[in-house]
Amino acid sequence: MQVIVAGGGVAGATSALALRRAGAEVTVYEAYTDPAGSVGSFLSLATNGLKALDALGCLEAVRAAGFDVERQRLWADSGRLLGDTPRGRLSGEPLRSITLRRGDLVETLRARAIGSGARIITGERLVGASRAGTKVRAEFESGRTAEADLLVGADGIWSATRRVLDAGAPEPTYAGLYTVSGVARGVDVGSGTFNMVFGRNGAFAYIPVPGGDVWWAAQVSAAEEPDLDAIDLEFLKDLYRHEEVPSALLRAVTSMQRPTLMHVLAEVPVWHDDRIVLVGDSGHPVGAGQGASMAIEDAVVLARSLEDAPDIPSALKAYDTARRKRVAKMVKSASGNRDAKTAGPVGRRVRNLVMPVFVKLFYERATAWLFTHEVAAGWAAPTLATADRVPSGHGAAGSSTGSSGA
Ligand SMILES: Cc1cc2nc3c(=O)[nH]c(=O)nc-3n(C[C@H](O)[C@H](O)[C@H](O)COP(=O)(O)OP(=O)(O)OC[C@H]3O[C@@H](n4cnc5c(N)ncnc54)[C@H](O)[C@@H]3O)c2cc1C
Protein backbone atom coordinates (compact mmCIF):
# COMPACT_ATOMS: atom_id res chain seq x y z
CA MET A 1 0.00 0.00 0.00
CA GLN A 2 1.35 3.43 -0.96
CA VAL A 3 0.48 6.34 1.29
CA ILE A 4 0.92 10.08 0.87
CA VAL A 5 0.91 12.07 4.09
CA ALA A 6 0.27 15.80 3.67
CA GLY A 7 1.98 17.62 6.53
CA GLY A 8 5.05 16.65 8.53
CA GLY A 9 4.10 17.91 12.00
CA VAL A 10 3.29 15.70 14.98
CA ALA A 11 0.35 14.00 13.25
CA GLY A 12 2.19 13.57 9.96
CA ALA A 13 5.43 12.20 11.39
CA THR A 14 3.68 9.79 13.76
CA SER A 15 1.31 8.68 10.99
CA ALA A 16 4.35 7.94 8.83
CA LEU A 17 5.87 5.88 11.65
CA ALA A 18 2.65 3.99 12.41
CA LEU A 19 1.89 3.32 8.74
CA ARG A 20 5.41 2.06 8.12
CA ARG A 21 4.81 -0.32 10.96
CA ALA A 22 1.64 -1.47 9.22
CA GLY A 23 3.77 -2.22 6.15
CA ALA A 24 2.90 0.80 3.99
CA GLU A 25 5.25 2.68 1.69
CA VAL A 26 5.00 6.23 3.01
CA THR A 27 5.94 9.63 1.59
CA VAL A 28 5.35 12.75 3.66
CA TYR A 29 5.02 16.09 1.86
CA GLU A 30 5.61 19.04 4.17
CA ALA A 31 4.92 22.62 3.11
CA TYR A 32 7.75 24.25 5.09
CA THR A 33 11.43 23.48 5.49
CA ASP A 34 11.53 24.57 9.15
CA PRO A 35 10.19 21.83 11.47
CA ALA A 36 9.53 24.24 14.32
CA GLY A 37 7.05 26.39 12.44
CA SER A 38 5.56 29.24 14.39
CA VAL A 39 2.91 27.47 16.45
CA GLY A 40 3.30 26.19 20.00
CA SER A 41 6.77 27.04 21.23
CA PHE A 42 6.67 24.25 23.79
CA LEU A 43 4.17 21.55 24.57
CA SER A 44 3.54 18.71 26.96
CA LEU A 45 2.68 15.13 26.19
CA ALA A 46 0.34 13.29 28.54
CA THR A 47 0.43 9.58 29.36
CA ASN A 48 -2.15 8.65 26.75
CA GLY A 49 0.02 10.15 24.00
CA LEU A 50 3.21 8.77 25.54
CA LYS A 51 1.87 5.22 25.52
CA ALA A 52 1.06 5.59 21.83
CA LEU A 53 4.59 6.94 21.24
CA ASP A 54 6.02 3.98 23.11
CA ALA A 55 4.24 1.60 20.76
CA LEU A 56 5.87 3.46 17.88
CA GLY A 57 9.28 2.87 19.46
CA CYS A 58 10.16 6.52 20.05
CA LEU A 59 9.25 7.30 23.64
CA GLU A 60 12.83 7.38 24.86
CA ALA A 61 14.00 9.53 21.94
CA VAL A 62 11.26 12.04 22.74
CA ARG A 63 12.11 11.94 26.44
CA ALA A 64 15.74 12.67 25.58
CA ALA A 65 14.62 15.76 23.65
CA GLY A 66 12.63 17.10 26.61
CA PHE A 67 12.24 16.68 30.34
CA ASP A 68 9.84 15.00 32.75
CA VAL A 69 7.26 17.06 34.60
CA GLU A 70 5.93 15.61 37.80
CA ARG A 71 3.08 17.92 38.85
CA GLN A 72 0.92 20.81 37.80
CA ARG A 73 -0.24 23.65 40.03
CA LEU A 74 -3.12 25.96 39.27
CA TRP A 75 -3.12 29.45 40.78
CA ALA A 76 -5.59 32.31 41.13
CA ASP A 77 -4.49 35.85 40.21
CA SER A 78 -4.22 36.56 43.93
CA GLY A 79 -1.52 33.89 44.26
CA ARG A 80 -3.87 31.45 46.00
CA LEU A 81 -3.28 27.79 45.10
CA LEU A 82 -6.38 26.39 43.35
CA GLY A 83 -5.15 22.88 42.67
CA ASP A 84 -2.12 20.61 42.74
CA THR A 85 -2.26 17.41 40.70
CA PRO A 86 0.02 15.06 38.81
CA ARG A 87 0.73 16.52 35.34
CA GLY A 88 -0.87 14.72 32.40
CA ARG A 89 -1.51 11.51 34.28
CA LEU A 90 -3.32 9.99 37.23
CA SER A 91 -1.53 9.62 40.56
CA GLY A 92 0.15 6.23 40.73
CA GLU A 93 0.80 6.22 36.96
CA PRO A 94 4.59 5.82 36.65
CA LEU A 95 4.86 7.36 33.17
CA ARG A 96 5.54 11.08 33.64
CA SER A 97 4.41 13.84 31.33
CA ILE A 98 7.17 15.13 29.02
CA THR A 99 7.60 18.79 28.05
CA LEU A 100 9.67 19.87 25.08
CA ARG A 101 9.86 22.42 22.31
CA ARG A 102 7.45 21.64 19.51
CA GLY A 103 10.28 21.95 17.00
CA ASP A 104 12.38 19.38 18.88
CA LEU A 105 9.43 17.00 19.04
CA VAL A 106 8.79 17.29 15.32
CA GLU A 107 12.48 16.93 14.50
CA THR A 108 12.76 13.80 16.67
CA LEU A 109 9.64 12.23 15.18
CA ARG A 110 10.70 13.04 11.62
CA ALA A 111 14.12 11.46 12.20
CA ARG A 112 12.38 8.35 13.51
CA ALA A 113 10.00 8.27 10.57
CA ILE A 114 12.91 8.48 8.13
CA GLY A 115 14.72 5.81 10.15
CA SER A 116 11.73 3.53 9.70
CA GLY A 117 11.87 3.93 5.93
CA ALA A 118 9.46 6.81 5.27
CA ARG A 119 10.46 9.59 2.87
CA ILE A 120 9.93 13.20 3.90
CA ILE A 121 9.89 15.81 1.17
CA THR A 122 9.80 19.41 2.36
CA GLY A 123 8.80 22.56 0.52
CA GLU A 124 5.75 20.87 -1.05
CA ARG A 125 2.34 22.28 -0.16
CA LEU A 126 -0.72 20.18 -0.98
CA VAL A 127 -3.35 22.26 -2.76
CA GLY A 128 -5.76 19.62 -4.09
CA ALA A 129 -6.46 15.96 -4.67
CA SER A 130 -8.54 13.95 -7.10
CA ARG A 131 -9.32 10.34 -7.88
CA ALA A 132 -7.26 8.51 -10.48
CA GLY A 133 -8.96 5.11 -10.87
CA THR A 134 -8.53 3.31 -7.57
CA LYS A 135 -5.75 5.72 -6.62
CA VAL A 136 -5.78 9.22 -5.20
CA ARG A 137 -3.72 11.90 -6.93
CA ALA A 138 -2.30 14.66 -4.73
CA GLU A 139 -1.56 18.04 -6.28
CA PHE A 140 1.02 20.44 -4.93
CA GLU A 141 1.51 24.17 -5.27
CA SER A 142 4.75 23.57 -7.18
CA GLY A 143 2.85 21.75 -9.91
CA ARG A 144 4.12 18.39 -8.71
CA THR A 145 1.61 15.51 -8.51
CA ALA A 146 1.87 12.16 -6.73
CA GLU A 147 -0.37 9.09 -6.66
CA ALA A 148 -1.01 6.63 -3.88
CA ASP A 149 -3.63 4.27 -2.48
CA LEU A 150 -4.30 6.58 0.45
CA LEU A 151 -3.89 10.28 1.24
CA VAL A 152 -3.56 11.14 4.92
CA GLY A 153 -4.32 14.81 5.65
CA ALA A 154 -2.04 15.76 8.56
CA ASP A 155 -1.88 19.38 7.46
CA GLY A 156 -3.01 21.06 10.64
CA ILE A 157 -5.84 23.40 11.58
CA TRP A 158 -5.80 25.24 8.20
CA SER A 159 -5.94 21.90 6.36
CA ALA A 160 -6.25 21.90 2.57
CA THR A 161 -7.13 18.19 2.72
CA ARG A 162 -10.19 18.98 4.84
CA ARG A 163 -11.47 21.27 2.05
CA VAL A 164 -10.78 18.60 -0.58
CA LEU A 165 -12.92 16.16 1.38
CA ASP A 166 -15.74 18.63 1.95
CA ALA A 167 -15.93 22.07 0.34
CA GLY A 168 -18.36 23.07 3.10
CA ALA A 169 -16.10 21.96 5.95
CA PRO A 170 -15.84 24.43 8.84
CA GLU A 171 -12.99 26.94 8.88
CA PRO A 172 -11.12 27.96 12.05
CA THR A 173 -12.46 30.94 13.95
CA TYR A 174 -10.71 33.19 16.44
CA ALA A 175 -10.93 31.71 19.96
CA GLY A 176 -10.92 34.99 21.91
CA LEU A 177 -7.34 34.34 23.00
CA TYR A 178 -3.89 34.99 21.67
CA THR A 179 -0.69 33.51 22.94
CA VAL A 180 2.83 34.81 23.45
CA SER A 181 5.61 32.61 24.72
CA GLY A 182 9.23 33.00 25.66
CA VAL A 183 12.04 32.25 28.06
CA ALA A 184 12.97 33.92 31.36
CA ARG A 185 16.04 33.41 33.53
CA GLY A 186 17.03 34.09 37.11
CA VAL A 187 13.65 33.64 38.81
CA ASP A 188 13.38 30.74 41.26
CA VAL A 189 10.06 28.97 40.61
CA GLY A 190 11.03 25.55 41.98
CA SER A 191 11.48 22.54 39.71
CA GLY A 192 9.51 19.76 38.06
CA THR A 193 6.17 21.56 38.09
CA PHE A 194 4.02 23.08 35.37
CA ASN A 195 2.15 26.13 36.68
CA MET A 196 -0.91 27.87 35.33
CA VAL A 197 -1.98 31.24 36.76
CA PHE A 198 -5.55 32.25 35.96
CA GLY A 199 -4.90 35.97 35.73
CA ARG A 200 -7.19 38.95 35.24
CA ASN A 201 -6.49 39.18 31.52
CA GLY A 202 -5.97 35.54 30.68
CA ALA A 203 -3.87 32.62 31.77
CA PHE A 204 -0.11 32.52 32.24
CA ALA A 205 1.71 29.20 32.15
CA TYR A 206 5.29 28.72 33.27
CA ILE A 207 7.55 25.78 33.69
CA PRO A 208 11.09 25.61 35.07
CA VAL A 209 13.48 23.91 32.68
CA PRO A 210 16.51 21.92 33.91
CA GLY A 211 19.48 24.31 33.71
CA GLY A 212 17.80 27.42 35.08
CA ASP A 213 15.57 28.81 32.34
CA VAL A 214 11.83 29.18 32.79
CA TRP A 215 9.59 28.70 29.75
CA TRP A 216 6.45 30.78 29.87
CA ALA A 217 3.37 31.26 27.73
CA ALA A 218 0.77 33.97 28.19
CA GLN A 219 -2.69 33.19 26.85
CA VAL A 220 -4.32 36.58 26.75
CA SER A 221 -8.07 37.00 26.61
CA ALA A 222 -9.21 39.53 23.96
CA ALA A 223 -12.76 39.54 22.62
CA GLU A 224 -11.68 41.14 19.32
CA GLU A 225 -8.68 40.01 17.27
CA PRO A 226 -5.83 42.26 18.39
CA ASP A 227 -3.15 43.94 16.31
CA LEU A 228 -0.34 41.49 17.04
CA ASP A 229 2.32 44.04 16.06
CA ALA A 230 1.29 46.18 19.02
CA ILE A 231 1.95 43.41 21.54
CA ASP A 232 5.42 43.71 23.00
CA LEU A 233 7.06 42.90 26.30
CA GLU A 234 6.12 46.25 27.89
CA PHE A 235 2.48 45.63 26.98
CA LEU A 236 2.59 42.17 28.61
CA LYS A 237 4.29 43.50 31.73
CA ASP A 238 1.49 45.99 32.13
CA LEU A 239 -1.18 43.35 31.46
CA TYR A 240 0.19 40.97 34.13
CA ARG A 241 1.31 43.64 36.62
CA HIS A 242 -1.19 42.35 39.24
CA GLU A 243 0.07 38.77 39.16
CA GLU A 244 3.24 38.32 41.18
CA VAL A 245 5.06 35.41 39.51
CA PRO A 246 4.09 36.27 35.90
CA SER A 247 5.23 39.85 36.39
CA ALA A 248 8.53 38.67 37.93
CA LEU A 249 9.08 36.35 34.97
CA LEU A 250 8.23 39.04 32.45
CA ARG A 251 10.82 41.30 34.10
CA ALA A 252 13.39 38.52 33.58
CA VAL A 253 12.63 37.70 29.94
CA THR A 254 15.57 36.69 27.76
CA SER A 255 13.60 35.92 24.61
CA MET A 256 10.06 36.19 23.37
CA GLN A 257 8.26 34.79 20.32
CA ARG A 258 5.89 36.66 18.05
CA PRO A 259 2.29 36.47 19.34
CA THR A 260 -0.09 34.00 17.67
CA LEU A 261 -3.88 34.10 17.53
CA MET A 262 -5.58 30.99 18.88
CA HIS A 263 -8.32 29.39 16.81
CA VAL A 264 -11.06 26.86 17.32
CA LEU A 265 -12.80 24.67 14.76
CA ALA A 266 -16.41 23.48 14.85
CA GLU A 267 -16.90 19.72 14.60
CA VAL A 268 -15.69 18.50 11.22
CA PRO A 269 -18.45 16.26 9.87
CA VAL A 270 -16.37 14.54 7.16
CA TRP A 271 -13.11 12.97 8.29
CA HIS A 272 -12.69 10.62 5.33
CA ASP A 273 -13.94 9.29 2.04
CA ASP A 274 -12.70 5.96 0.75
CA ARG A 275 -9.14 7.13 -0.10
CA ILE A 276 -8.53 10.27 1.98
CA VAL A 277 -8.51 10.65 5.76
CA LEU A 278 -7.80 13.41 8.30
CA VAL A 279 -5.58 13.01 11.37
CA GLY A 280 -4.59 15.47 14.12
CA ASP A 281 -5.54 19.14 14.02
CA SER A 282 -6.83 18.94 10.43
CA GLY A 283 -9.86 17.02 11.75
CA HIS A 284 -9.96 18.17 15.36
CA PRO A 285 -7.75 20.77 17.04
CA VAL A 286 -8.62 19.88 20.64
CA GLY A 287 -6.59 22.23 22.86
CA ALA A 288 -6.20 21.73 26.63
CA GLY A 289 -2.67 20.42 26.23
CA GLN A 290 -3.92 17.34 24.37
CA GLY A 291 -3.57 18.27 20.69
CA ALA A 292 -0.30 16.46 20.14
CA SER A 293 -1.28 13.45 22.25
CA MET A 294 -4.55 13.10 20.34
CA ALA A 295 -2.70 13.36 17.02
CA ILE A 296 -0.39 10.52 18.07
CA GLU A 297 -3.39 8.44 19.14
CA ASP A 298 -4.96 9.06 15.71
CA ALA A 299 -1.84 7.79 13.97
CA VAL A 300 -1.86 4.51 15.90
CA VAL A 301 -5.59 3.93 15.47
CA LEU A 302 -5.37 4.63 11.73
CA ALA A 303 -2.51 2.16 11.27
CA ARG A 304 -4.28 -0.50 13.32
CA SER A 305 -7.50 -0.01 11.37
CA LEU A 306 -5.60 -0.47 8.11
CA GLU A 307 -3.99 -3.64 9.45
CA ASP A 308 -7.27 -5.10 10.64
CA ALA A 309 -9.78 -4.12 7.95
CA PRO A 310 -10.23 -6.03 4.67
CA ASP A 311 -9.77 -2.89 2.56
CA ILE A 312 -8.91 0.81 2.81
CA PRO A 313 -12.49 2.20 2.75
CA SER A 314 -13.54 -0.11 5.61
CA ALA A 315 -10.40 0.81 7.53
CA LEU A 316 -11.14 4.54 7.25
CA LYS A 317 -14.68 3.98 8.43
CA ALA A 318 -13.41 1.96 11.40
CA TYR A 319 -10.91 4.71 12.24
CA ASP A 320 -13.66 7.34 12.24
CA THR A 321 -15.87 5.19 14.47
CA ALA A 322 -13.03 4.48 16.88
CA ARG A 323 -12.02 8.15 17.25
CA ARG A 324 -15.21 10.27 17.06
CA LYS A 325 -16.57 9.89 20.57
CA ARG A 326 -13.27 10.33 22.35
CA VAL A 327 -12.29 13.36 20.32
CA ALA A 328 -15.72 14.99 20.84
CA LYS A 329 -15.39 14.48 24.59
CA MET A 330 -11.92 16.03 24.52
CA VAL A 331 -13.11 19.04 22.52
CA LYS A 332 -15.90 19.63 25.04
CA SER A 333 -13.52 19.43 27.95
CA ALA A 334 -11.07 21.82 26.22
CA SER A 335 -13.83 24.34 25.68
CA GLY A 336 -14.48 24.42 29.47
CA ASN A 337 -10.74 24.88 29.93
CA ARG A 338 -10.73 27.90 27.59
CA ASP A 339 -13.72 29.41 29.41
CA ALA A 340 -11.71 29.29 32.64
CA LYS A 341 -9.00 31.38 30.92
CA THR A 342 -11.33 34.01 29.48
CA ALA A 343 -13.64 34.41 32.51
CA GLY A 344 -14.75 37.93 33.49
CA PRO A 345 -14.69 39.23 37.11
CA VAL A 346 -17.76 37.25 38.24
CA GLY A 347 -16.69 34.11 36.41
CA ARG A 348 -13.26 34.42 38.01
CA ARG A 349 -14.74 34.57 41.49
CA VAL A 350 -16.90 31.51 40.83
CA ARG A 351 -13.94 29.68 39.30
CA ASN A 352 -11.73 30.50 42.30
CA LEU A 353 -14.37 29.08 44.64
CA VAL A 354 -15.28 25.99 42.64
CA MET A 355 -11.92 24.92 41.21
CA PRO A 356 -10.20 23.91 44.50
CA VAL A 357 -13.14 21.71 45.44
CA PHE A 358 -13.40 20.20 41.98
CA VAL A 359 -9.69 19.51 41.68
CA LYS A 360 -9.52 17.94 45.13
CA LEU A 361 -12.60 15.76 44.89
CA PHE A 362 -13.19 15.02 41.22
CA TYR A 363 -10.09 15.73 39.09
CA GLU A 364 -8.84 12.15 38.98
CA ARG A 365 -12.29 10.71 38.32
CA ALA A 366 -12.99 13.35 35.68
CA THR A 367 -9.76 12.71 33.77
CA ALA A 368 -9.42 8.92 34.08
CA TRP A 369 -11.12 8.39 30.69
CA LEU A 370 -8.50 10.61 29.10
CA PHE A 371 -5.26 9.43 30.65
CA THR A 372 -5.92 5.69 30.98
CA HIS A 373 -6.99 5.21 27.35
CA GLU A 374 -4.48 3.00 25.54
CA VAL A 375 -4.85 3.01 21.79
CA ALA A 376 -1.88 0.68 21.38
CA ALA A 377 -3.01 -1.99 23.87
CA GLY A 378 -2.58 -5.42 22.32
CA TRP A 379 -0.59 -4.07 19.39
CA ALA A 380 2.52 -6.19 18.92
CA ALA A 381 5.86 -4.70 20.00
CA PRO A 382 7.49 -2.51 17.35
CA THR A 383 8.59 -4.67 14.44
CA LEU A 384 10.84 -2.13 12.80
CA ALA A 385 14.25 -2.99 14.12
CA THR A 386 15.50 -0.29 11.76
CA ALA A 387 13.90 2.50 13.78
CA ASP A 388 17.27 3.71 15.04
CA ARG A 389 19.11 4.00 11.77
CA VAL A 390 18.59 6.04 8.64
CA PRO A 391 18.72 3.62 5.72
CA SER A 392 20.56 4.89 2.67
CA GLY A 393 18.28 5.90 -0.18
CA HIS A 394 15.41 6.84 2.10
CA GLY A 395 14.62 10.39 3.06
CA ALA A 396 17.43 11.69 0.90
CA ALA A 397 15.76 12.40 -2.42
CA GLY A 398 14.98 15.85 -3.81
CA SER A 399 14.38 18.30 -1.01
CA SER A 400 13.84 15.56 1.56
CA THR A 401 15.07 16.26 5.06
CA GLY A 402 16.86 14.32 7.70
CA SER A 403 16.59 15.19 11.32
CA SER A 404 17.53 18.81 10.73
CA GLY A 405 14.43 19.46 8.64
CA ALA A 406 16.27 22.21 6.80
C1 LIG B 1 0.14 27.81 21.80
C2 LIG B 1 -0.11 26.35 21.68
C3 LIG B 1 0.25 25.50 22.72
C4 LIG B 1 0.03 24.15 22.62
N5 LIG B 1 0.36 23.33 23.65
C6 LIG B 1 0.12 22.01 23.56
C7 LIG B 1 0.46 21.11 24.63
O8 LIG B 1 0.99 21.49 25.67
N9 LIG B 1 0.20 19.78 24.46
C10 LIG B 1 -0.36 19.30 23.30
O11 LIG B 1 -0.57 18.08 23.21
N12 LIG B 1 -0.70 20.11 22.30
C13 LIG B 1 -0.47 21.45 22.39
N14 LIG B 1 -0.79 22.27 21.37
C15 LIG B 1 -1.44 21.69 20.19
C16 LIG B 1 -0.47 20.96 19.32
O17 LIG B 1 0.64 21.79 18.97
C18 LIG B 1 -1.18 20.51 18.07
O19 LIG B 1 -2.41 19.94 18.41
C20 LIG B 1 -0.37 19.46 17.39
O21 LIG B 1 0.88 19.99 17.03
C22 LIG B 1 -1.12 18.98 16.14
O23 LIG B 1 -0.27 18.46 15.25
P24 LIG B 1 -0.64 18.38 13.71
O25 LIG B 1 0.49 17.66 13.10
O26 LIG B 1 -2.02 17.86 13.52
O27 LIG B 1 -0.70 19.89 13.20
P28 LIG B 1 0.48 20.91 13.06
O29 LIG B 1 1.40 20.83 14.21
O30 LIG B 1 -0.13 22.23 12.72
O31 LIG B 1 1.28 20.38 11.79
C32 LIG B 1 0.77 20.48 10.49
C33 LIG B 1 1.92 20.41 9.52
O34 LIG B 1 1.42 20.41 8.19
C35 LIG B 1 2.10 21.37 7.43
N36 LIG B 1 1.17 21.82 6.39
C37 LIG B 1 0.14 22.68 6.53
N38 LIG B 1 -0.54 22.80 5.38
C39 LIG B 1 0.07 21.97 4.50
C40 LIG B 1 -0.20 21.62 3.15
N41 LIG B 1 -1.23 22.15 2.49
N42 LIG B 1 0.63 20.73 2.53
C43 LIG B 1 1.68 20.18 3.20
N44 LIG B 1 1.97 20.48 4.49
C45 LIG B 1 1.16 21.34 5.14
C46 LIG B 1 2.52 22.43 8.42
O47 LIG B 1 3.62 23.17 7.94
C48 LIG B 1 2.86 21.60 9.63
O49 LIG B 1 4.18 21.13 9.63
C50 LIG B 1 -0.57 23.63 21.44
C51 LIG B 1 -0.91 24.47 20.38
C52 LIG B 1 -0.69 25.83 20.50
C53 LIG B 1 -1.10 26.72 19.35
Q: What is the pLDDT of residues 237-268, one digit of tens each?
A: 999 999 999 999 999 999 999 999 999 999 99
Q: How far apart are CA 300 and CA 355, in angstroms?
A: 34
- Listed in sequence order, the residues at least 6 apart from 287 whose beta carbon sits closer than 8 Å to its beta carbon are 264, 331, 334, 335, 337, 338
Confidence of residue 391 (pLDDT cuts 50, 70, 90): very low
* Pocket probe mutation, ligand 1, options 17, 27, 30, 144, max atoms within 8 Å of Cβ: 30
Same domain (yes/no): 257, 280:
no
Q: Pick from 9, 300, 10, 5: which is nearest to 161 by CA?
A: 5
Residue 393, domain member (yes or no)? no
* Pocket probe mutation, ligand 1, options 41, 43, 45, 164, max atoms within 8 Å of Cβ: 43
CATH number at residue 224: 3.30.9.30
Residue 85, domain member (yes or no)? no
**pLDDT given at position 79:** 92
Separation of CA 333 from chain center: 16
31 in ligand 1 pocket by Cβ < 6 Å?
Answer: yes
- Listed in sequence order, the residues at least 6 apart from 307 whose beta carbon sits closer than 8 Å to its beta carbon are 22, 23
The pLDDT of residue 394 is above 80: no
Q: Pick from 173, 195, 199: which is nearest to 184 by CA?
A: 195
154 in ligand 1 pocket by Cβ < 6 Å?
Answer: yes
**pLDDT given at position 358:** 86
Query: How many CB atoms lie under 10 A from the CB of residue 134?
Result: 9
Separation of CA 77 from chain center: 27
Same domain (yes/no): 154, 186:
no
Same domain (yes/no): 11, 111:
yes
Q: Pick from 167, 154, 92, 75: which is nearest to 120 by CA?
A: 154
122 in ligand 1 pocket by Cβ < 6 Å?
Answer: no
226 alpha carbon to ligand 1 midpoint, in Å? 22
Average pLDDT, the chain: 90
Which atom of ligand 1 lies nearest, measured to the CA of 12? 25
Q: How many domains are there within the chain?
A: 2
Q: Is the dihedral of CA 355, 360, 366, 371 positive or negative?
A: positive
**pLDDT given at position 347:** 83
Closest residue by CA, ligand 1 atom 31? 9
39 alpha carbon to ligand 1 midpoint, in Å? 7
Residue 74, domain member (yes or no)? no
Q: What is the DSSP letter of 96?
A: P
Confidence of residue 337 (pLDDT cuts 50, 70, 90): confident
Which atom of ligand 1 lies nearest, measured to the CA of 293? 11
The pLDDT of residue 10 is above 50: yes
Same domain (yes/no): 60, 105:
yes
Same domain (yes/no): 13, 107:
yes
Q: Is the dihedral of CA 326, 332, 336, 337 positive or negative?
A: positive
Which atom of ligand 1 lies nearest, measured to the CA of 10? 25
Same domain (yes/no): 315, 339:
yes
Q: How far apart are CA 215 and CA 192, in angstroms?
A: 12
Q: How far apart are CA 394 and CA 289, in angstroms?
A: 33
The pLDDT of residue 343 is above 60: yes
32 in ligand 1 pocket by Cβ < 6 Å?
Answer: yes
Confidence of residue 393 (pLDDT cuts 50, 70, 90): very low
Per the model's pLDDT, the better-predicted residue between 38 and 317 turns out to be 317
176 in ligand 1 pocket by Cβ < 6 Å?
Answer: no
* Pocket probe mutation, ligand 1, options 28, 29, 39, max atoms within 8 Å of Cβ: 39
Per the model's pLDDT, the better-predicted residue between 364 and 208 turns out to be 208
Which of 206, 238, 263 terminates a domain? The answer is 263
Which of 245, 263, 281 terminates a domain? The answer is 263
Same domain (yes/no): 38, 117:
yes
The pLDDT of residue 382 is above 60: no
Helix, strand, or coil here: 393? coil
Domain range for 342 is: 2-68+97-171+268-388
Which atom of ligand 1 lies nearest, measured to the CA of 291? 19
What is the per-residue pLDDT across 295-333, written as a single tens digit (0 to 9) for each?
999 999 999 999 999 999 999 999 999 999 999 999 988
Q: Check if the beta carbon of residue 39 is closer than 8 Å to that of residue 31.
A: no
Same domain (yes/no): 156, 220:
no
Same domain (yes/no): 252, 358:
no
Which atom of ligand 1 lies nearest, measured to the CA of 181? 1
Residue 314, domain member (yes or no)? yes
Q: Check if the beta carbon of residue 67 is closer than 8 Å to that of residue 44.
A: no
Q: Check if the beta carbon of residue 58 is closer than 8 Å to that of residue 72.
A: no
298 in ligand 1 pocket by Cβ < 6 Å?
Answer: no
Same domain (yes/no): 152, 177:
no
CATH number at residue 58: 3.50.50.60
Which of 211, 228, 263 terminates a domain? The answer is 263
Residue 87, domain member (yes or no)? no
Residue 83, domain member (yes or no)? no
**pLDDT given at position 270:** 98
402 alpha carbon to ligand 1 midpoint, in Å? 19
**pLDDT given at position 146:** 98
Residue 77, domain member (yes or no)? no
H/E stretch holding 194? strand 193-199
166 alpha carbon to ligand 1 midpoint, in Å? 21
Same domain (yes/no): 295, 326:
yes
Torsion of CA 26, 328, 285, 303, to 10 degrees: -10
Same domain (yes/no): 258, 304:
no
290 in ligand 1 pocket by Cβ < 6 Å?
Answer: yes
387 alpha carbon to ligand 1 midpoint, in Å? 23
Residue 294, domain member (yes or no)? yes
* Pocket probe mutation, ligand 1, options 50, 102, 276, max atoms within 8 Å of Cβ: 102
